[in-house]
Amino acid sequence: MAKLEAFIKAKEKLSKVLLKTSLIQSPIFSKEAGNEVYIKPENLQKTGSFKIRGAYNKITNLSDEEKKKGVIASSAGNHAQGVAYGAKESGIKAVIVMPKSTPLIKVESTKQYGAEVVLHGDVYDDAFKKAKELEEKEGYIFVHPFDDEDVIHGQGTIALEILEELPETDIILVPIGGGGLISGIACAAKILKPEIKIIGVEPDGAASAYEAIKEDKVVELKEANTIADGTAVKKIGNTTFEYIKKYVDEIITVSDYELMESFLLLVEKHKIIAENSGILSLAALKKLKEKNKKVVSVVSGGNIDVLMISSMINKGLIRRDRIFNFSVNIPDKPGELAKVVDLIAQQGANVVKLEHNQFKNLSRFKDIELQITVETNGSEHIQNLTQAFEEKGYEIVRIKSKIN
């Protein structure tokens, strides 16, 4: 297991290239969680994620002979950019194998750092196998995204920064993919402050660390199915498993729906955009048993496709009852539609969409059906709107919104 000196040495090396990601106190997440919540915004880091830390530390620790061979890595995106950046700074060749499902922004960003990109397989594990084949065939030095001591030391520098800025931190929440980030943070944090609590967070559909701890051995999931593509890892590392087992206090899993909700809050209240994997720690805040503690949520990355941003905002609005779809029957006579629209306006809701279908209610010839989508302030606002309709003699039928 790593010693404090390894993390301090990595921090000194990284000081030349890192951007400062100071903690951000969050009133909205504090209120929702019942704790004093701070965000560690590694999505604002150079290359858009924490991955530059481990990759750069690993590459700069290579011998001159190893550097001549060039490096290869497998990645769902963020590690790719970290390796590409580190290789460029060191003046060596980098080849990155990425799953075909990797968001285009991550592929293009990796290429812009000068790396050669090979697209292979559907998930990270497929890309990893291909990269190992190329390592053997071409003689490259493999830079593992998580199961490597130098990488773990680099990622652990985040803990040094957190405790330097907020020594009284009680809990650190950390996303888990392959386990490198939480291994480094947990080890470094526990060395500096043994009583601190480290909690890992995984998506429900790719909880490989949770299963490994439960089985007390590294296991491979049958599938990794989650919108958090950067943590869609079917099998954590052997090295990281040992770190997690020793230093991590608890693992929480969250649903894709909870990620959508947290994404919306982060954008709306903090004007910060992060990728789905990056906000795992925010989605877990409401699941903490502890209250009135100082909690740091590591937001690990921000490389997200623009189209995904729009989709996540819309789904987050639905998740938090900010979008309300309903149908209502009204008499088929002039002025009735205006009454409904006026009633909605009186309740302070905003009509997003309205469909007026004269021919849908064949069973009730004197009525027509309206299908209405309105923007609201949340669940209480919807209840008030529904009550107002009922008081006027209208029956509302809620239409379940699709958010999957």
Query: Active-site positions?
Result: 51, 300
**CA–CA separation, 226 vs 210, rounded Å?**
15
**CA–CA separation, 227 vs 370, rounded Å?**
34
Q: What is the DSSP letter of 145?
A: S
**First vs last C-alpha separation in the chain:** 41
Contacts of 359 (CB under 8 A, 6+ apart): none
Among residues 226, 283, 179, the alpha carbon closest in space to that of 404 is found at 226
Among residues 333, 331, 319, 342, the alpha carbon closest in space to that of 395 is found at 331
Q: DSSP per residue over 225-286, as a string?
A: --S-GGG--SS--HHHHHHHHHH--EEEEE-HHHHHHHHHHHHHHH-----TGGGHHHHTGG
Among residues 295, 282, 204, 203, the alpha carbon closest in space to that of 249 is found at 295
* The two three-digit tokens of residue 344, written as one number: 């909605």
Cα 24 vs. chain centroid, distance in angstroms? 17
Cα–Cα distances (Å) from 227 to 98, 203, 204, in that order, read 17, 9, 10
Among residues 3, 4, 404, the alpha carbon closest in space to that of 204 is found at 404
**CA–CA separation, 372 vs 187, rounded Å?**
53
CA angle 61, 107, 92 (to 5 degrees): 30
